[in-house]
Amino acid sequence: MTIKHEALDRVVIRFAGDSGDGMQLTGDRFTESSALFGNDLSTFPNFPAEIRAPAGTIAGVSAFQVHISDHDILTPGDSPNVLVAMNPAALKANISDLEQGGILIVNSDSFDDRSLSKAGYETNPLTDDSLKRYSVYEIPMTSLTLEATKDTGAKPRDAERSKNFFALGLISWMYNRPYDETINWINKKYENRETVLQSNLAAYKAGHAFGETAELFASNYTVAPAHFEKGTYTNITGNHATALGVVAAGLLSGMQVLLGTYPITPASDILHELSKLKNFNVKTFQAEDEIAGVGAALGASYGGALGVTTTSGPGVDLKSETLGLAISLELPLLLIDVQRAGPSTGLPTKTEQSDLLLAMYGRHGEAPLPVVAASTPSDCFEAVIEAARIAIKYRTPVILLTDGYLANGAEPWLLPDLTKLQPIEPNFSKEFNHENKDGSKSFYPYIRDPKTLIRQMALPGTPGLEHRIGGLEKSNESGAVSYDPLNHELMVSLRAHKIEGIQDDISDAVVDDPTSDAKILLLGWGSTYGSIAAGVRRLRARDKKVAHVHLRHLNPFPKNLETILKKYETVIVPEINLGQLSKLIRSKYLIDAKSFSKVQGVPFKAVEIEKYVLNFVEEN
Amino acid sequence: MTIKHEALDRVVIRFAGDSGDGMQLTGDRFTESSALFGNDLSTFPNFPAEIRAPAGTIAGVSAFQVHISDHDILTPGDSPNVLVAMNPAALKANISDLEQGGILIVNSDSFDDRSLSKAGYETNPLTDDSLKRYSVYEIPMTSLTLEATKDTGAKPRDAERSKNFFALGLISWMYNRPYDETINWINKKYENRETVLQSNLAAYKAGHAFGETAELFASNYTVAPAHFEKGTYTNITGNHATALGVVAAGLLSGMQVLLGTYPITPASDILHELSKLKNFNVKTFQAEDEIAGVGAALGASYGGALGVTTTSGPGVDLKSETLGLAISLELPLLLIDVQRAGPSTGLPTKTEQSDLLLAMYGRHGEAPLPVVAASTPSDCFEAVIEAARIAIKYRTPVILLTDGYLANGAEPWLLPDLTKLQPIEPNFSKEFNHENKDGSKSFYPYIRDPKTLIRQMALPGTPGLEHRIGGLEKSNESGAVSYDPLNHELMVSLRAHKIEGIQDDISDAVVDDPTSDAKILLLGWGSTYGSIAAGVRRLRARDKKVAHVHLRHLNPFPKNLETILKKYETVIVPEINLGQLSKLIRSKYLIDAKSFSKVQGVPFKAVEIEKYVLNFVEEN
Amino acid sequence: MTVTTRKDWASDQEVRWCPGCGDYSILAAVQLLMPELGVERENTVFISGIGCAARFPYYMNTYGVHSIHGRAPAFATGLALTRPDLDIWVVTGDGDSLSIGGNHLIHALRRNINIKILMFNNQIYGLTKGQYSPTSEYGKVTKSTPFGSVLSPFNPISLALGAEGTFVARTHDMDRNHMMEMMRRAHLHKGASLIEIYQNCNVFNDGAFSEITSKDKRADNLINLVDGEPIIFGANSDKCVVLDAEQGVRVADRSSVTEDEILIHNSKRQKPAIAFALSKLASGPHEPTPIGVFRDVEQHEYSESLQHQTEDALNKKGSGTIANLLSSLPTWTVN
Amino acid sequence: MTVTTRKDWASDQEVRWCPGCGDYSILAAVQLLMPELGVERENTVFISGIGCAARFPYYMNTYGVHSIHGRAPAFATGLALTRPDLDIWVVTGDGDSLSIGGNHLIHALRRNINIKILMFNNQIYGLTKGQYSPTSEYGKVTKSTPFGSVLSPFNPISLALGAEGTFVARTHDMDRNHMMEMMRRAHLHKGASLIEIYQNCNVFNDGAFSEITSKDKRADNLINLVDGEPIIFGANSDKCVVLDAEQGVRVADRSSVTEDEILIHNSKRQKPAIAFALSKLASGPHEPTPIGVFRDVEQHEYSESLQHQTEDALNKKGSGTIANLLSSLPTWTVN
Ligand SMILES: Cc1ncc(C[n+]2csc(CCOP(=O)(O)OP(=O)(O)O)c2C)c(N)n1
Ligand SMILES: Cc1ncc(C[n+]2csc(CCOP(=O)(O)OP(=O)(O)O)c2C)c(N)n1
Ligand code: SF4
Ligand code: SF4
Ligand SMILES: [Mg+2]
Ligand SMILES: [Mg+2]
């Protein structure tokens, strides 16, 4: 049998197995090698909250989906073309997503009675005809791995754990991924664990060889490199890009960074990344809880550093009170909320966009603050810098919203042109700014720029400018405690106007409406960018006209938003929540924005966007 | 000189002095005696956040305004007819509110140079003609008090502190308040402090006698009792009525009450009241912080008690996370938020309505809960019972919003007809509700009533119904942890629909629109009731037609609200915030509701409502 | 007394800890102990926060609540105050109880409220995959401290004693009998009891306690505190603990002291000073470390005291009705 | 060294405590001490939470922050980590630090971060008008406990020692010199220092400490701990403190012991056991109570250790730029 070589323009592969099976690692490596190969790509890791849920159960299944392509793509793909299922539970949990006629590769060794029943199968799907809609390849990966590794000295129990490398080898062969680079990578990664190294290498090679020699597969495939803009690229997750953005914001402003935080899924990796970067003027502080984390960040900001705090879910709730203090003190502070599915503990490893209204309104009193969102994994880098710029310049806490999907998903990122990154000027006061009645001078911390309403800020250590601030209402200008009713109203309104005024300092919303005559506008924010944009492409491919606006700024909204919205007959707001942005839009612009909501802990599929709009058009 | 007796239909008196001068006590007692006399009344205490701010300064002024009348009234009055100022600072802080030609009574002893300059006066207002628009009575209250008390054995420094009783006696004489009852009350209140008792008695009597004999006043006044509905009345503050409501809710449901709380102004008095009522099946627990307070309340609810927590300002922020847990567990919980002026520490003793959006949206994830508001001090009683009813029946946390103005303000309250108070049925499960595959029975905690979506709840201690619940997403019906995407969507939507469905179980909004043809609707909620209703009266007195709807339920809104709103050309929403209800109304009904906002830490005046509407009519 | 078996106490949920995790043996100890205590399943409640340890309630066939991170003592306090009839256990991790929940823990101990707290101390954050915890040792390299942690850990026993804990004990996951004995004692105690359980997290902090708990090292490195007995340890019983003017107590060679110098253990000492000194014998689980009950004294239990106040009020004023409530107000009547 | 006078340290704000409040004398002590320490006003920061005590920063002519209830140590930690050049003082009440802020307090102590914490302990909530606090005595009748509180107070010294506090001292508002001495010592200490200051709230808890601090009772009831000196007290110096196998330490009649049995005070003992025992001598301020420095030992200071890690990284890798940051990633180039 000769093997055909076919060229594909894109393929979506999902690796699925037990939490202990190393699917995330396999997926990551496949992705990385595709990135280095030059494909465009997008990934979607999906794993349980347990460290290691009971082996063999549906709850314990961990999956990693990667979409690689020879042209630019926007999402990890709606349905996989290829599913690798390491055990019955993985099959059961994922098979319904596989496209009709898709390739299903199973580790047949794991389909024994016990595993089948753990997964909830009453009959063996490999033999009961239920999989006939797919091209099924049964491969005894466990035994092949054991066989391949028997000379490495690894005990069978340990050797078996290399079977994900067998799968990686096999799929790498199928899609013609660079071979040597992965060999090098394995060598490096396990350099201090010789037996593991040897056994992983052996399994990887065996998987690769198996594809080539087993005469099982009629073809293998090439997905050619995509045509990227010139430049240097890296493959990056949202959390990683966020961490880099924090470092960059510090360097651009010349401010030391203090990350005050408390571990929580899926935000912890930002802490892990930043704690390695001590030579970039970044300090990390793992506090006793979220309250202390944000408190320390604010204390650092008071001293002239950029205070940053990262969190998710319940952690956001706990920071409300300190955000209120930051608003009253008018100090910079950056809160990065990696949203996850709630309420309460909810689904810690699943994604959601349900903290928008919390970000807007989750503090007692009139306590406005700017809200910014990132739309793709790599976009987190710029979103952080923008959020930090606003925080530093306007002396205000800013909430940056990312989410679990962005956090763990990856895509190629064209490294930014450093000359285009704007410095951020903290503009600390060094001089007296007030003349007292007796002619002497003093420093009034709440004297404001008349246009931007930004207050003056002097750092401890500045001689002569000693002053006291606090969370009690204060006199505008002098900052002294004030119980005066009219002053309170003034301050409430100054704080509100300062935030509203940021409108003048942010970029306009950009409309994607090539023919300028669409009637329907899809308005999105955050991580739905890829799904909506891909949905829009599908619609346009069917000659349906539809416009797309994706918001970076949720508070304040861009100045031109109202005009844009009023141009369209219909505004549809797809969100991974029950319609939070649509509530804000309705209230602000009195537009009958339609909420299209999905709250399943996973992103929209492009096809869902497409269908919703098609239905809508049909019904209206 | 003979003294005329004049009859007045109403009078507004403001007592103002140093925080240490006992103005709150004086006002309270004057109010109480007016209540017992049979007037309708309304009060507005207004004091600084410090225990005792620096004597003699504006910041240290404490005031108490009381409005008494022979007909039913709605507010403590816009501007006082009578101002009692115990020192220059009190005069300075309050004089601008006194009506033209109003009576000003000052303690002339306190107008020495030092006090004048502390208050910021450059010349003595008693001699510089600046008070000529008022009828000024200069009375050396300090020396008269010292004189009157010299036989009581009190040291001069202590005796001087009785001067508020002198003022009380004088004003009681001026307005013909019952004499003996106050004597009895003083006797009782100070029974264990003989010297203080004697000195207060002497001062009170001297003040009274002074009015009668000093030939200073040409008349004294009577404000006849109001025509009240038949029944038994008490004079009550909002916090007190709230505490009584909590007890009543416990007794009506047969549930033990646990108040888990942490002291904070202006909510602490609810704790103080409830901690005295141990024989009413109420326990109070002063926790280490707000988080523990609400946590303990929720733990108590889990055990079958009614868990209640009270707080204000920053304390509300801190409870967010636990509210989310309560929503996920679907357990009863009552959070009473006595709103105060924010953000951050803000103005702790001043009122505001700025926690509405926090109550609605202040939790991560989709975490809806019912929100209820009280509209007058005595209304707090029923509002608590309504909130508790919803919490218990629907197994949900409920937020009841009151505020600083309701909390400390007082009015006569017709005691409720006990036969009309409906029992609340907690409906705990005692039986299995699920048949397993093998025919055995078990208890599924998330089996719901198909109509109301209320889940079944079995208490620890119920044999056989042992089960486990938690904040992770759970399978509908069984309650077992579930990561299933569709189940998550189902649960998110069930939780939302359960709360929305409460619409069917609450009373309709009531429209006050006597001629049914007004074009303008004033939509209010909470403590603005009195001001709006009084403003409406003023408008109607000028033959302006205007309707008024006042909301008890903020989430869900009453079913008929939409129809009502759509009937009016203009909907104006007066709020002590930057327009929070108006945002909700705009978003939900796409109605161009106009926000009329005042954020000065004090209630609207009726005349402000009147003017706003008049202006509006003129301009449109 | 109801007769139950271990099986009765196991729920139908599959246990979701990593294979080899120390949590399994603690679960076994609890499920074995319950039948022996003669309590009813329906009157038993397990309450936890968040973390690997906090999964515990799911596996007990009793009432159970998996609450939020660090807040289990608060939740349990409300339940204990209103339901003194229940047997309430709190299960918590070192992060859950000492990091985010530190305040609730020390206040629960001080209040001496009737809850039994099992603190699974694995010196790491398990569930969030390996950050350092308040009990991680100085210098610990973790995901959040790649260059090593630069702060000292809490000693949970010392902290609990500083916080007025009335029952404070330590045990470890390798010794089922000892765990059960500690739990038995905690169950007898009226008030708050804290048991620190050294628990191996074989995924993120494997072997953290092996220097003292592995079978071959126990004899030399575990100092078993037994009431009424002199504190002697060592494979050859050649070591002991004596009073010391500098350190409070110290380890000595038995040969260097007289027998009556050896400290007799007594968990019932009213003052916690000696217990505290014992807690400071070891600076971490890598040198001779005491296990056992450090302190076990009687004191007002909070929910009972509150209940007494309620009963007093009831005796004096009678059981209140709404009518009573309203009639106690100063009123006037309009006819 | 800059020469300043007391007046330089007073801000222009009018002081807003009740007349007679103990807070005044603490303020005076601090303002008197500052010139002597030779520090600069601009490098001095006072940070507080909420409460009467927490008003303190407004009155100091330095940088100051009146933050939120209980959170001052968290705020101060962030500042100390990034600005080791500053002299940072935290002013807090017993409620602020031990109730809502308990967790931040114990963690700040454990981390040994360079902040000086002045805890004004008046055993009551002043600002909210008289509820009991975590240091109020058992049985205390307050607005929130009309029938008396039914739980035991914290002993702040014991708690701090249990939380690994490296500098722990107690003083009282009636003795300016002693207050100043404690603050002087705290200022010398590298790391976190806690000074508990018994402070009279003459409005809501008048006389709480008068049994031990009033001029006529001090000699009998204050045990002044002085390093290197035997612990002797009493108007006639007839009482002393000795080691005790049951209580750790106890008060004895001097006549009943030999001179060398008397405990010599030493705040520098590395192990906190004796300090802890001393903290437990008195169960409340109504019997002989130690004041002075209980513990004062050297240990890694957190912000400095973190700074060292940063410097190590800088030495190894050089000061990072955005270009470095990006070039360290695995990349590929498209031409
Ligand atoms: C408010 C909040 N913050 C953070 C988290 C994330 N979180 C869950 S468990 C945990 C720590 C677990 O450590 P530990 O208590 O020691 O338990 P273990 O997993 O080691 O048993 C953290 C930080 C959370 N769930 N909630
Ligand atoms: C989050 C929050 N909860 C409650 C309060 C109300 N509060 C202000 S000060 C205080 C306690 C004050 O007691 P303490 O710390 O002992 O200070 P003191 O007034 O006695 O000096 C409380 C409960 C608050 N400001 N913020
Ligand atoms: S991560 Fe550690 S503590 Fe958690 S289950 Fe696994 S082994 Fe146990
Ligand atoms: S209430 Fe007490 S602590 Fe507060 S200022 Fe007055 S006397 Fe001082
Ligand atoms: Mg742990
Ligand atoms: Mg206090």
CATH classification at residue C153: 3.40.50.970
Q: Ligand 5 center to residue A348 CA distance, Å?
A: 18
- Closest approach of chain A CAs to the CA of C41, in angstroms? 26
**Is pLDDT above 70 for D1?**
no
Residue D78 domain-assigned?
yes
**How many CB pairs (< 8 A) connect A and B?**
219
Q: Ligand 5 center to residue C155 CA distance, Å?
A: 14
Neighbour-count burial of B560, counting CB atoms closer than 10 A to its CB (0-12 exposed, 13-18 middle, 19+ buried): middle
Tell me what the pLDDT averaged over chain A comes to: 95
Q: What is the pLDDT of residue B215?
A: 78
Q: pLDDT by residue (tens digit) across D153-184?
A: 999 999 999 999 999 999 999 999 999 999 99
**Is pLDDT above 60 for D327?**
yes
- Closest approach of chain D CAs to the CA of C168, in angstroms? 13
Atom index in ligand 1 nearest the CA of residue A289 equals 3
Decide: A262 and A311 in contact? Cβ < 8 Å: yes
Q: What is the pLDDT of residue A153?
A: 86
The CA distance from B364 to B328, in Å, is 12
Q: Structural domains in chain A?
A: 4-222 (3.40.920.10), 237-420 (3.40.50.970), 427-505 (no CATH), 511-619 (3.40.50.920)
In this prediction, the residues of chain B whose per-residue pLDDT falls under 50 are none
Share of chain A above pLDDT 90, in %: 90
pLDDT (average), residues D197-212: 97
Q: Determine how many CB atoms are found less than 10 A away from the CB of residue A417.
A: 8
Query: How would residue A616 be classed by pLDDT, with cut points 50, 70 and 90?
Result: very high
- The tally of CA atoms less than 13 A away on the side-chain side of residue C156 is 38
- The tally of CA atoms less than 13 A away on the side-chain side of residue D200 is 19
Beta strands D248-253; D239-244: pairing state: antiparallel
Q: pLDDT by residue (tens digit) across C239-291?
A: 999 999 999 999 999 999 999 999 999 999 999 999 999 999 999 999 999 99
Q: Which of A328, A335, A344, A356 to mutate against chain B (most B CBs within 10 Å)?
A: A344
Q: What is the pLDDT of residue A216?
A: 82
- Name which of A238, A106, A331, A166 is nearest A530 in CA terms: A238
Residue C24 domain-assigned?
yes
Q: pLDDT by residue (tens digit) across B291-346?
A: 999 999 999 999 999 999 999 999 999 999 999 999 999 999 999 999 999 999 99
Residue D236 domain-assigned?
no
Q: Which of A321, A343, A485 sits opposite B318 (nearest CB)?
A: A321
D326 contacts on A by Cβ (under 8 Å): 234, 244, 415-416, 418
Could you tell me which residues come within 8 angstroms of residue A27 by beta carbon, excluding any fewer than 6 positions away? A15, A43, A45, A64, A65, A66
Residue C309 domain-assigned?
no
The CA distance from C239 to C242, in Å, is 10
Q: What is the pLDDT of residue D198?
A: 98
D145 contacts on B by Cβ (under 8 Å): 275, 286
Residue with tokens 């005042």: B598
From the CA of D17, the nearest ligand is: 4
Number of domains within chain C: 1
Q: What is the pLDDT of residue B1?
A: 56
- Name which of A525, A599, A211, A566 is nearest A374 in CA terms: A525
Q: What is the pLDDT of residue A2?
A: 72
pLDDT (average), residues A33-44: 90
Pocket test for ligand 3, best of C14, C15, C16, C18 (most atoms within 8 A of CB): C18
Q: What is the pLDDT of residue D2?
A: 72
Containing A123, the helix (H) or strand (E) segment is: none
Atom index in ligand 3 nearest the CA of residue C16 equals 5
pLDDT (average), residues A125-153: 92
> Residue B188 corresponds to which amino acid?
K
Window A:448-507, CB contacts with B under 8 Å: 470-473, 481, 483, 485-486, 488-489, 492-493, 495-496
The CA distance from B381 to B241, in Å, is 5
**Is pLDDT above 90 for C16?**
no
- Going from the C-alpha of A42 to that of each of A31, A35, A406, D333, the distances in angstroms are 8, 10, 10, 18
Lowest mean pLDDT segment, chosen from A12-26, A45-59, A580-594, C171-185? A45-59
Query: How would residue C65 be classed by pLDDT, with cut points 50, 70 and 90?
Result: very high
Decide: C9 and C39 in contact? Cβ < 8 Å: no
ipTM above 0.90, yes or no: yes
| Phi (first) and psi of residue B296, to 5 degrees | -65, -40
Q: What is the DSSP letter of A192?
A: T
Q: pLDDT by residue (tens digit) across B433-456?
A: 999 999 999 999 999 999 999 999
The CA distance from C294 to C274, in Å, is 9
Decide: D202 in ligand 2 pocket, CB within 6 A: no
Chain A residue nearest residue B338, CA to CA: A364
Could you tell me which residues come within 8 angstroms of residue C169 by beta carbon, excluding any fewer than 6 positions away? C182, C185, C186, C193, C194, C195, C196, C291, C292, C293, C294, C296
- Going from the C-alpha of A79 to that of each of A11, A39, A95, A176, C272, the distances in angstroms are 10, 19, 10, 21, 64
Beta strands B547-551; B511-512: pairing state: antiparallel
Residue D255 domain-assigned?
no
> Residue C36 corresponds to which amino acid?
E
The string of DSSP letters for B569-587 reads SEEEEEESSSSHHHHHHHH
CB contact under 8 A, C66 and B304: no
Window B:272-291, CB contacts with D under 8 Å: 272, 275-276, 278, 284, 286, 288-290
Neighbour-count burial of A440, counting CB atoms closer than 10 A to its CB (0-12 exposed, 13-18 middle, 19+ buried): exposed
Decide: D200 in ligand 2 pocket, CB within 6 A: no
Residue nearest (by alpha carbon) to ligand 4 atom 5: D17
The 3 state secondary structure assigned to D89-152 is: EEEEEHHHHHHHCHHHHHHHHHHCCCCEEEEEECCCCCCCCCCCCCCCCCCCCECCECCCCCCC
From the CA of B291, the nearest ligand is: 2
- Name which of B356, B369, B333 is nearest B249 in CA terms: B333
Containing B398, the helix (H) or strand (E) segment is: strand B397-403
Residue C138 domain-assigned?
yes
CB contact under 8 A, A328 and B346: yes
- pTM, to two decimals: 0.96
Chain D residue nearest residue B285, CA to CA: D144
| Phi (first) and psi of residue B496, to 5 degrees | -70, -45
Residue D144 domain-assigned?
yes
- Going from the C-alpha of C224 to that of each of A60, C212, C260, C296, D248, the distances in angstroms are 40, 12, 18, 16, 20
CB contact under 8 A, B264 and D128: yes
Q: What is the pLDDT of residue C1?
A: 58
Q: Which domain holds residue D194?
A: 6-215
The CA distance from A346 to B470, in Å, is 9
Residue D47 domain-assigned?
yes
Residue with tokens 């009792």: B225
Q: What is the pLDDT of residue A220?
A: 86
* Residue A51 at interface with chain C, using a CB cutoff of 8 Å: yes
Q: What is the DSSP letter of A2?
A: P
Pocket test for ligand 4, best of D17, D24, D55, D94 (most atoms within 8 A of CB): D17
Strands (E), chain D: 44-48, 63-66, 87-93, 116-121, 167-172, 193-198, 222-225, 232-233, 239-244, 248-253, 289-296, 331-334
Sign of torsion, CA B434 B437 B440 B445?
A: negative
Q: Ligand 1 center to residue A601 CA distance, Å?
A: 21
